[in-house]
Amino acid sequence: MKFGVEFVPNNPIEEVMKWASVAEQKKFDYIWVTDHFNNRNTYVTLTSIAMKTSSVRIGPGVTNPYLINPAWTASAVASINEVSKGRAVLGIGAGDRTTLSYLGLEQKSPVLALAECVDIIRGLLKGEDVKVPGQIFNVTGARLNYQSGFVPIYLGAQGPKMLRLAAKISDGVLINSSHPADISLAVKEVRNGLEDAGKSSSQFDVAAYTSFSVSADPVEAVKLARPVVAFIAAATPDVVLERHGIPPERVQVIKEALARGQFKDAFKAVNDELLEAFSITGTPSQCTEKIAAILKEGVSQFVIGSPIGADKVKTLESIGSEIMPQFVQ
């Protein structure tokens, strides 16, 4: 079992570097850095982390093809692989609908966009002359002037089509879910996709990319999780809401509040149902039990996603000392 951790670079990069150093000391296998225009730049942050660490794998978790052109992404991740001496990974997905909407960007044909995007990036990373006359991207001839070495590509996925695409074209999948029921269904889709593609599941990394909040005070853990869950709920398909018995009207209230920039109203609308469905919160012992339930569903990497905890350093040390030893020998 591998453990990853997600960092949101909304704090000074020097502080994120401290988090990364602690994560490596506590034997995390992966550090994923989110990519949103309103935070510190992902690749500047990853470069700084690369210079501060020596063994942990690092990469964007996740970037997207709507704001960032795949050629630029290939160049950036190749550079990260060089400076980190071969430790780069690439997480890419359809992006956050709410954040993209602030820029007037639409998630047009996400499955097709990701398929074309990965095709372009793989070719560029291999040093090939890339020609992809796609419907979303029309690359008529592009090439990097250097080779980066192999970089594993992970697709961020939640719906059946994207999960099957991940199995077909990527080296791993980041399942954006925190509940065993959702993880179970997603893993089945991935396994079916791997079988259709003739690929071995032993060579494919299935990661549960969770919203995680742990504290000795469970009330504090819930408080920290509300903002993250609000954004997750706003991007969740109705079929998933139905699975958890959540009325679409409640999520619509959150969507509208986020669109207006009324964040406090959106966060207040996050109730216990939403927290249970879309996050892992509680004390270390409670979170350990919830991790165990997810690992039973067949994942090979567990990602400690935002918000993690109020004090990142202390929380990472707690997770590394109290929780991870329960699953890693």
Under the banding of pLDDT at 50, 70 and 90, the label for residue 132 is: very high
What is the C-alpha to C-alpha distance for residues 109 and 328, in angstroms, rounded to an integer?
A: 39
pLDDT beyond 90 at 3 = yes
- For 145, residues 6+ apart whose C-beta sits below 8 A from its C-beta are none
- pLDDT band at 99, cuts 50/70/90? confident
* Mean pLDDT of all residues in 24-49: 97
Encoded tokens for 19: 């988090």
Looking at residue 162, what is its pLDDT? 96
Contacts of 9 (CB under 8 A, 6+ apart): 16, 33, 34, 39, 40, 41, 42, 45
pLDDT tens column, 188-215: 999 999 999 999 999 999 999 999 999 9
- Beta bridge partners of residue 5, listed in sequence order: 31, 304
pLDDT for 147 equals: 82
307-316 per-position pLDDT tens digit: 999 999 999 9
- Whether the CB-CB separation of 30 and 301 falls below 8 Å is answered with yes
**Inter-residue contact 212 to 279 (CB < 8 Å):** yes
Q: pLDDT confidence of 272, banded at 50, 70, 90?
A: very high
Output the pLDDT for position 328.
85
In the chain, which ranges are continuous DSSP H helix? 13-25, 42-52, 70-83, 97-101, 110-125, 160-169, 180-197, 218-234, 238-243, 248-259, 263-268, 272-278, 284-295, 312-318
The pLDDT assigned to 38 comes to 94
Residue 132, number of CB atoms within 10 A of its CB: 17
- Report the candidate in 301, 214, 229 with the shortest Cα–Cα distance to residue 269: 229
Percentage of the chain surpassing pLDDT 70? 100
Top pLDDT among 103 and 98 is at 103
Q: How far is CA 192 from CA 110, 155, 163, 293, in A?
A: 20, 16, 10, 22
Q: DSSP labels for 120-162?
A: HHHHHHTT--EEEE-SS-EEEEE--SS------EEEEE-SHHH
pLDDT tens sequence across 49-78: 999 999 999 999 999 999 999 999 999 999
Note if the pTM is more than 0.85.
yes
The predicted-structure confidence for 134-177, as pLDDT tens digits, reads as follows 999 999 999 999 988 999 999 999 889 999 999 999 999 999 99
Considering Cα of 19, then 22, then 26, then 32, what sign does the dihedral take? positive
Residue type (1 letter), 91: G
Length of the chain: 329
Question: Which tokens hold the place of 252?
Answer: 């619509």
Question: Phi first, then psi: what are they for 138, rounded to 5°?
Answer: -120, 90
Q: Tell me: pLDDT of 97 over 90.
A: no
What is the rounded average pLDDT for all residues in the chain?
96
Check pLDDT > 80 for residue 306. yes
Asked whether residue 329 carries a pLDDT value surpassing 80, the answer given is no
Q: How far apart are the first and last CA of the chain?
A: 9
pLDDT digits (tens, 9 = 90+) for 169-195: 999 999 999 999 999 999 999 999 999
State how far the alpha carbon of 302 is from the alpha carbons of 209, 247, 305, in Å.
7, 29, 9
| pLDDT for the residue 96 | 86
**What DSSP designation does 63 have?**
B
Q: What is the pLDDT of residue 239?
A: 87
Token reading at 8 = 């949101």
CATH entry 3.40.50.300 includes domain 2-214+280-326: no
